[in-house]
Amino acid sequence: MAQKIPERDLIHIFSRYSSMKPAGIEAFLTEKKVYADTPAWIKFIDKSLMLLGVIFSVAGIIFFFAYNWQDMHKFVKLALVQGLLITAVMVVVLSRLDLLIRNLILLGASLLTGALFALFGQIYQTGADAYDFFLGWTIFIVLWTVVSGFAPLWLLLTGLINITVVLYAEQIAGDWSAPLVYCILFVVNTALYVSLALPGKTLLLTEVPKWFSNTLAAAAVTCSTISIVSGIIYRYDTAWYISFILVLLAYITALVYSFKSRKVFHLFIVPLSVIIIVAGFLVDTAKGNDTLVFFIVSLFIVSSVSVLISQILKLNRAWNGR
Amino acid sequence: MEDKHTNEILAELISSEEGLTQTNLDEIRREISLKASLYSGIGIKILSVTGGLLAVVSFMAFLFSTEILQSGFVMIFLGVFMITASLALNKAVKNLTFDTVVISANITGYILLGMGISKMTHSDNLVALVMLFVATVTFVVSEGYMLNFIAVLVFNGCLFSFITINDAPYFMFLLTGFLAVVYTSLHLQEAYWIAKSRKFNVLYNPVRTGFLLSVIAYLVALTTNWLFDGHSSFPMLSSVILILSCMFVVYKAIKYTGIRSKINRFMIYALVVLPLLPTLFYPAIAGAVLVILICFYTGHRNSAVLGGLALAYVLIMYYYNLEYTLLVKSIILFVSGLLFLLIWTVFKKQVKAV
């Protein structure tokens, strides 16, 4: 598919090989509305003033409560946050504001839910970093997330699930190895990625922004890479073998999917992960002979990434006719 | 081939320009089709930079495990060799395949050269001076995106290091003002720079991006407390430079949008300057506002978002460092918020009236 080239890039390239005068270039950039025109400025000033006004006044209110915080009764504190939470949700449900604004308020309400749990933990000394605090927070915003289908809210939920798993492993499970913990995170993030972000799967999301699907995929691949590499460095346990098989299957599926759908994104991240894993393996196997192995590893990384780039370019040319 | 939209604009440009040779046209078409392919895509850049950095780490680990780094002379020799090799390879192979090699050789070269000079002379100033020189040479001899981008970061990083090495924090304010002025001129005189010569045209994008990151890094550095020891005139001077730059951007934008009413013009200037006046002793805020304004004006939306994040950060640091009680802070914030909302409603009415 041919990609649209921004007007700015076009004029840069054109002026490189012609004797176009600055005035002509400026006229082009103005005419094509690359530079902001009056409506764009009005929209910009409008949005900025509103945003600044809201953020500053809300910050002022928060600072005011922070000033009086020590002297407030615990019920007043709880009532304050709960009152805010209820107001926010009422606005989302009852008002006729723009959908984006209501979604943003819901995101704010989801963050307030966390603040409420933290406050509860502070007053009743249950600790602010306990895993059940994050578990509670996660469970209480699941419904809002599913109903809103709003990508930033899904990202918050994903983050909370990840934190809950890590804290559970640290505080309750105790003896879970790093390969196991990261393998679980890999499975969780991959499942979210497959069910939320793959094209055609817009069931749970109103729209899937590119940054969202890329972040999820990158999170999944980062976890799988850490799982396998940590297993190599800290000697192989049972969990590592399970993780290895799962990662292998997932990577093969991702690559097959790439070739079938003719999309290159997975071809960037999966091979990069494999390169890092192989580098980790090389460093580990040659313990005691650091000099040689680091030299080989640097050569390996440089050459494999170069080969990878040239292959991706070749494939892209074959798929997209360039 | 290119899409319909691109072809239309290209045809329009060609018809308006006389004296284009067939060779020129072929070159233009070739570059446009490169641009449309993955060549300039962010994916390839991230891959080559990640690969490059990983390779730098393991190669430095290799060098540290040998006896090579015992000798300053060997390090300087290797450093110069690596930098020259990266420049030569980038010139010889016009293909992104070798970007990883080029990036890792270039960065390793800078590190080795710096360590070597430091070991032999024990003079940090000399290290920074030589780095500055190497970065300048890179601008002259190379057309590569990544090499020039790295060179801008090294160049501005060296200027910063002169300040820390010689313990002259007040210069930081002047330097930030100076860099912001250069950055502003890069944006406002884009047409001039890209029409000046082929060289400037090619260097424009990496230099602009490098400057954006440098200016933001300088602004973040300006929020640290160690700078504010006694020299209150320097922050003020820096703020004045930055606010004047903001006004100049507004002046250009007003000229372009063709607002004629004197009252409206005055109100727009006041809208930019008045909120910045209370921050005169804290130039980072005016700097971040400047970045947002120029990037929005010249249509670099992603850079403007980066400027917005910088503004959020410096504002938080500003209120955090302010030596008032929470009550006073809350009053200042709340009143400013109400003021902004008031101006907003007036603005909305004014727009409707027009």
Compare CB distances from A15 to B194, B205, B334 and report the shortest one's residue.
B194
CB atoms within 10 A of CB B126: 14
Q: Among residues of chain B, what percentage have pLDDT more than 70?
A: 95
Q: How far apart are CA B238 and CA B120, in angstroms?
A: 37
**Residue B84: C-alpha distances to residues A26, B76, B89, B106, B158 (Å):** 37, 12, 8, 8, 20
Q: Is B341 on the interface with A (CB under 8 A)?
A: yes
Q: pLDDT by residue (tens digit) across A85-143?
A: 999 899 889 988 788 888 888 998 998 898 888 888 878 877 666 788 889 999 999 99
- Please list the helix, strand and coil fractions of chain B in percent, rounded to the nearest 5, in that order: 85, 0, 15
CB contact under 8 A, A17 and B348: no
Exposure string (b/e) for B80-107, b if CB count within 10 Å is 16 or more? bebbebbbebbeeeeebbbbbbbbbbbb
A285 with A214, same domain? yes
A205 with A161, same domain? no
pLDDT of residue A201: 56
Tell me the angle at which helices B4-16 and B22-36 cross, rounded to the nearest 10 degrees. 150
In this structure, are residues B86 and B134 in contact, taking their beta carbons and an 8 Å threshold? no
Domain that holds residue A262: 182-322
A171 with A197, same domain? no
């070269």: which residue's tokens? B109
Q: Is A282 on the interface with B (CB under 8 A)?
A: no
User: H helices of B17-123, where?
Assistant: 22-36, 42-65, 72-92, 99-121
- Angle subtended at Cα B32 by Cα B28 and Cα B36, rounded to the nearest 5 degrees: 175
**Residue A268: C-alpha distances to residues A95, A262, B225, B332 (Å):** 44, 13, 42, 49
B244 with B337, same domain? no
Dihedrals phi, psi of B141, to nearest 5 degrees: -95, -20
Name the domain boundary from A134, A151, A175: A175
Name which of B15, B98, B146, B194 to mutate to probe chain A: the one with the most chain A Cβ atoms within 10 A of its Cβ: B194
Q: Is residue A137 part of a domain?
A: yes
Q: Of B198, B202, B11, B33, whose CA–CA distance to A18 is shortest? A: B198
B124 with B136, same domain? yes
- Residue B292's pLDDT band (boundaries 50, 70, 90)? very high
Q: How far apart are CA B66 and CA A177, in angstroms?
A: 34
Half-sphere CA count of B99, side-chain side, radius 13 A: 26
Half-sphere CA count of B325, side-chain side, radius 13 A: 6
Name the domain boundary from B117, B144, B167: B167
Q: Is A279 on the interface with B (CB under 8 A)?
A: yes
Q: Which of residues 247-276 of A touch B (CB under 8 A)?
A: 264-265, 268, 272, 275-276
B157 with B185, same domain? no
What is the enclosing helix (H) or strand (E) of A190? helix A178-192
| pLDDT of B241 above 50 | yes
The chain-wide mean pLDDT, for chain A, equals 86
- Residue A164's pLDDT band (boundaries 50, 70, 90)? very high
Q: Is residue A120 part of a domain?
A: yes
A154 with A287, same domain? no
Using a CB-CB cut-off of 8 Å, the residues of chain B touching A310 are 95, 97
A130 with A244, same domain? no
| pLDDT of B1 above 60 | no
Can you give the pTM of this predicted structure?
0.84
- Report chain B's C-alpha Rg in angstroms: 24
pLDDT of residue B38: 56
CB contact under 8 A, B13 and A14: yes
Q: Is residue A191 part of a domain?
A: yes
Using a CB-CB cut-off of 8 Å, the residues of chain B touching A20 are 17, 195
Q: Among residues of chain B, what percentage have pLDDT more than 90?
A: 42
Q: Which of residues 2-31 of A touch B (CB under 8 A)?
A: 2-5, 7-26, 28-30
| pLDDT of A322 above 70 | no
Q: How far apart are CA B143 and CA B145, in angstroms?
A: 6
pLDDT of residue A294: 87
Compare CB distances from B54 to A264, A301, A320 and report the shortest one's residue.
A301
pLDDT of residue A141: 93
- Average pLDDT for residues A37-45, to the nearest whole number? 88
B277 with B197, same domain? yes
CA distance B323 to chain A (A): 14
A257 with A150, same domain? no
**Residue B4: C-alpha distances to residues A218, B10, B39, B159 (Å):** 34, 10, 20, 46
- Average pLDDT for residues A72-83, to the nearest whole number? 86
Name which of A16, A44, A64, A262 to mutate to probe chain B: the one with the most chain B Cβ atoms within 10 A of its Cβ: A16
Please state the domain count of chain B.
Answer: 4
Q: Name which residue leads in pLDDT, B325 or A145.
A: A145
Provide the ipTM. 0.85
Q: Which of A136-140, B26-30, B53-57 has the lowest mean pLDDT?
A: B26-30
A186 with A171, same domain? no
- Average pLDDT for residues A56-76, to the nearest whole number? 82
Q: pLDDT by residue (tens digit) across B106-132?
A: 999 999 999 999 999 989 999 999 999
- Report chain A's C-alpha Rg in angstroms: 26
Structure token pair of residue B62: 């290799």
| pLDDT of B294 above 90 | yes
CB contact under 8 A, B62 and A295: yes
B64 with B158, same domain? yes
CB contact under 8 A, B97 and A309: yes
Compare CB distances from A268 to B47, B330, B351 and report the shortest one's residue.
B47
pLDDT of residue A123: 81
B79 with B13, same domain? no
- Residue-wise DSSP of A238-268: HHHHHHHHHHHHHHHHHHHHHHHHT--HHHH
Q: Which of residues 242-301 of B touch A (CB under 8 A)?
A: 253, 256-259, 271, 296-299
Q: Which of residues 44-83 of A touch B (CB under 8 A)?
A: 44-46, 49-50, 52-64, 66-67
Using a CB-CB cut-off of 8 Å, the residues of chain B touching A316 are 37-38
B241 with B262, same domain? yes
Q: Of B315, B319, B237, B318, whose CA–CA distance to B280 is shortest? A: B237
pLDDT of residue B4: 75
pLDDT of residue A2: 46
Residues 6 or more apart in contact with residue A51 via CB below 8 angstroms: none
Please state the domain count of chain A.
Answer: 2
Q: How far apart are CA B103 and CA B49, in angstroms?
A: 7
A270 with A192, same domain? yes
Q: Is residue A170 part of a domain?
A: yes
| pLDDT of B231 above 70 | no
Domain that holds residue B338: 324-354
Name the domain boundary from A153, A175, A197: A175
Q: How far apart are CA A199 and CA A211, in angstroms?
A: 13
What is the enclosing helix (H) or strand (E) of B161? helix B145-165
Q: Name which residue leads in pLDDT, A85 or B258.
A: A85
Q: Is residue A296 part of a domain?
A: yes
- Residue A236's pLDDT band (boundaries 50, 70, 90)? confident
Q: pLDDT by residue (tens digit) across B88-100?
A: 998 888 777 788 8
Sign of the four-CA dihedral B34, B37, B42, B45: negative
Name the domain boundary from A121, A151, A175: A175
A81 with A137, same domain? yes
């640097």: which residue's tokens? A298
| pLDDT of A306 above 50 | yes
B135 with B193, same domain? no
Using a CB-CB cut-off of 8 Å, the residues of chain B touching A53 are 337-341, 343-344
pLDDT of residue A203: 60
Q: How far apart are CA A158 and CA A152, in angstroms?
A: 10
Using a CB-CB cut-off of 8 Å, the residues of chain B touching A284 are none
B288 with B161, same domain? no
Compare CB distances from A294 to B25, B62, B259 and report the shortest one's residue.
B62
DSSP class of B95? S
pLDDT of residue B99: 83
Q: Name which residue leads in pLDDT, A220 or A315.
A: A220
pLDDT of residue A276: 93
In this structure, are residues B286 and B312 in contact, taking their beta carbons and an 8 Å threshold? no
In this structure, are residues A83 and A95 in contact, taking their beta carbons and an 8 Å threshold? no
Q: Is residue A4 part of a domain?
A: no
Residue of B nearest to A283 (CA): B58
CB contact under 8 A, A50 and B3: no
B129 with B203, same domain? no
Q: Is residue A254 part of a domain?
A: yes
B95 with B27, same domain? no
| pLDDT of A208 above 60 | yes
A273 with A312, same domain? yes
pLDDT of residue A1: 39
pLDDT of residue B223: 87
- Residue A182's pLDDT band (boundaries 50, 70, 90)? very high
In this structure, are residues B271 and B318 in contact, taking their beta carbons and an 8 Å threshold? no
CB contact under 8 A, B65 and A20: no
**Residue B103: C-alpha distances to residues A178, A222, B131 (Å):** 33, 23, 16
Q: Is residue A8 part of a domain?
A: no
B54 with B155, same domain? yes
The chain-wide mean pLDDT, for chain B, equals 87
pLDDT of residue A284: 86
A203 with A171, same domain? no
A210 with A314, same domain? yes
Half-sphere CA count of B62, side-chain side, radius 13 A: 17
